[in-house]
Structures are given as structure tokens and as C-alpha cells.
Structure 1
Amino acid sequence: MIFNARGAYAIFKNELMRMFRTAFGSILSPVITTSLYLVVFGAAMSERVETDIGVPYGAFIVPGLLMLTLLSESTSNASFGIYMPKFTGAIYELLSAPVGVVETLIGFVGAAAVKSLILAAIILGTAALIVDYQIAYPLLAFGYILLVAATFSLLGFIIGLWANSFEKLQIIPLLVLMPLTFLGGTFYSIDVLPEPWRSVSLINPVVYLVNGLRWTFLGESDFPIALSFGMTMIFLLLCIGIIWWIFRTGWRLRD
């Protein structure tokens, strides 16, 4: 099948424009929430809390807060984007159109990932006004943010296909991803945890994501970037495999 660039672009453009039509919920709300975290935990507590790697506490939590927003927003944007065509019945028009799996993913997942990148840029710009932080490896940070945004946009796409109600769209982001992120070293290094909590934290996959991004910002973290990158790539391939199976079998698409 010939790649339908126009179809992929039409889906991508429509999804991206939806973000600007709902700018308060898509952009302002997560930026305000993250800024409040930075003011309370970063600016207010920076002089009272010491880190074990010699950086201000405000700079230490910036990567964790950015990861918190990336995971939740990438997942939510992609899941809502594919769920709405299912809810309205427009999914059947999409399935009958000359648009394949690749074009569909580029449109929905690509738009969700781009939204997350725009949001990440705004958050980093806002954070610079509140706390003093540096990015040790800007290119690696951008690449890793892009990888995480794409991976969890794929996860959101799967959730959107799986969900059969608006309530189910929120189960994974709110009841799974957010607690895992808060317990994944967003506000602390897991090295400060006593046993057995430190060992328990190693089971949390978000720990490696937060520390991978922290490494690109600070040059130091609890785990090397290679481990975080490898685990993210494994999860990315797993999501791609699940989506391939869904389109091959028609599960949740033709029900």
C-alpha cells in the first residue's frame, strides 16, 4: 500500500488544532500546575533542602516535574484523540479511508507527541523564571523527551482504543501513571530511602525514566542514561507490537 502523506497530515493537523481550540485545558492547566509545584517545592524549599549531588533542590526537581507532565499529557492527549472518533462513530470512516496503520499513528500519535514537546518547552521556559537550572546535555535531553513523548503517546493510543467510556480514559493516567511518577523520584533521590523501600522503588519503571531525564539535565542521577534509554525503547517496541495486533485483529475497532 502506498503511503498516504495527505491523509496522515490531515489527521495530524486536525489533532494539533484541537489543542489550540482547548488551550486552557491542554496548555495553561498543566503549566500552571507545574509552576505551582516549582514555587512551593523549588523556590520556597530550595534553601532548606540539600541534595546529594550538590545542585539546588529547585533544579533537582525540574526534570522530575517535566517527566510527570510528559507522561500524563502524552497519554491523555493520545487516548482522547482516538477515543472521540470511536465515541462519535467516525472511526468507521477512518477505517474505510485509504489510510493505513502508519498514517494513522503518524496523525494521532505524532500530534500528541508534538503537543507534549510544545508543553515541555513552555514548562522549561516558565521554570527558568522560578528556579535556576541548567541542562548539561541539551541534545540528549531533547532526544529523550521526544522518545518518552512518542512512547507514552503510543500508550495513550492503546488506552483510547481499549476504553469504552470517558471514565476509563482517566484510569491509567490518574490511578497508575501519576502515583508511579510521584513515587518514582520526582522530588527525591531513591538513594535516600531506607530499605526495603529503596528495593521496592526499583520495581517502579518510572524511576528509570525520571532518572534518565535527570541525568541529561544534571549529568548525574541514580541510574545511567543507557539503562533508562534501553527500558524506554523496550516499552516503545511493546506498544508498537500491541497496536499492530489491534489493527490486525480489529479488536475494539469493529466492535
Structure 2
Amino acid sequence: MAAAIATTPRQSSISTPASLSSPTFAQHNSPQIPMPHPHRKEVVCVFVVEGTAKMQPYFATLFEAYLEPILRQLRAPIITDGDEKQAKTKVTPILKYGLVVYGDYEPSSTVTVDRKYFTSDFSLFHSVFKNINCSQGGILKNAVYEGLVAALELFDEYKLNAEPTSSDPIFHCILVAASLPYNMSVRCNISEKYDRFGLSNIVEEMRKVCFELHNVNAKSTKLTSPLRTMYKCRWFPRVKGSMSSKGCLPWSTTRRQRLTK
């Protein structure tokens, strides 16, 4: 059972903002997904999700209406380039799910950022996602930058622990947000590499690692406009009532931390 950790520099919290101890992913593979080998392509995806009271009205419909269509595309076979001796082939990807839940800075949220490492067990990931408790903050000091830096740190650790024989993974980052970001350099990072990172630093680093970025906008089209402008990420309309998932496509890069049940 994970415990909440206070918001201090280079510390990670293991509890979802405003919740009791949340499940975490154990490092294991589901029976349907084989272990990685040189001829399989790994698709590594981090979901960066706002877990505040401002997200609560939209949260129930987010997964089915927006995130499942994205995941279906990420699971689709990848066409590998051929050459004179070898024809193009379809490769079924191995999908790895990571999760970052961020809130506001204290005291609005008890926990500012919660990181959970990758799992290939979709049922476990889905269960943990559905149990995010959106009940605090989302008004003044929203820590979206902390969430994005936590995703970068997950990517870093994933690369560090990858098998030497593994092919290069494809990284995706999916930001699900409802509040305006608080414009302050990060202070909850674990790695010194990200000390004092602001928006421009985050965008520059994301460009290095991520294949494509999805932004699911749960409230306002002005929500994360600086990120949208600087990264030119794929942008989805506000979430309300019954949402259309048309046009949902993949986007960015990720790395490591763990979810456990």
C-alpha cells in the first residue's frame, strides 16, 4: 500500500491527489501480452491526468469517450519499412501504460503529484484510472508542469531499465486537463536534471522524447494554450455530455515508474 508524501523538492508522492492510498501497478505482464523481444515494437504511453475537483464533472465520461479510441490506435499494428530483400511487415505492438495524477500545490491539494510505473496489464491500469478521486483544488495553483515533468522522469527510468536487445520504443504522452496551469518552475521533481524547469524547458525536453502528444481538454479551449502553441500538440475539444471521439490520434514519449494493486 503506497503512502502519500508531502510536496517537497525532488520527492514523489504515491497517492492520488485528495485520495486514500491508491493502487499501484506491479511489474508484470498480462497473459495476453508476450514478453518483449527484438521483433516486437514497444509502445510506451504515460497518461498525465488532472485529479482536482474541477475535473470531477467530466471524469466519468473521459475514458470511454476519449482515451479508449486513442488506445485502440496505439494498439493497431505498426507497418515496418522494408528493403530490397525484405517486404514491409505488420508488427503488433506491446503497449505499456504509465500514469501521473497531478493536483494543485499545497494547501489546495494534499498531494501535488502521484507517479505510477508502467504495466502491460490493461485491466489493472483501467482499474487504477477509474479510481482517481477528483475532489480537491483546481482553482488557483494547478500543477500541470509538475505532472509533465513526472512523465519525463517516467520515460527516463523506462529507458534506463530497458533490455539492451529491445528495439527503440515509441513514446506517447496524453495530457488530460481541466484547469489553467500555475506558471511556476517545478519543485516536486525527483531528478536534478529537471530542477527549475518551466514551460519552455518542458516543451524542449518533450520534443526530444515524445513521438506525439495528445491533449484532451476537459473544460476550456484556453486551458493549456501556451503548451499548445509551443508544442503544436494534437488538441481535442472540451468534454461535455456525450463526447465525440472522432479524430483521436496518438502523440508523445514516456518513461518509468510503477503502479501496484
TM-score normalised over the length of structure 2? 0.28
Higher relative contact order (CA 8 A, sep 6+): 2
* Structure with the largest fraction of helix: 1
TM-score normalised over the length of structure 1? 0.29
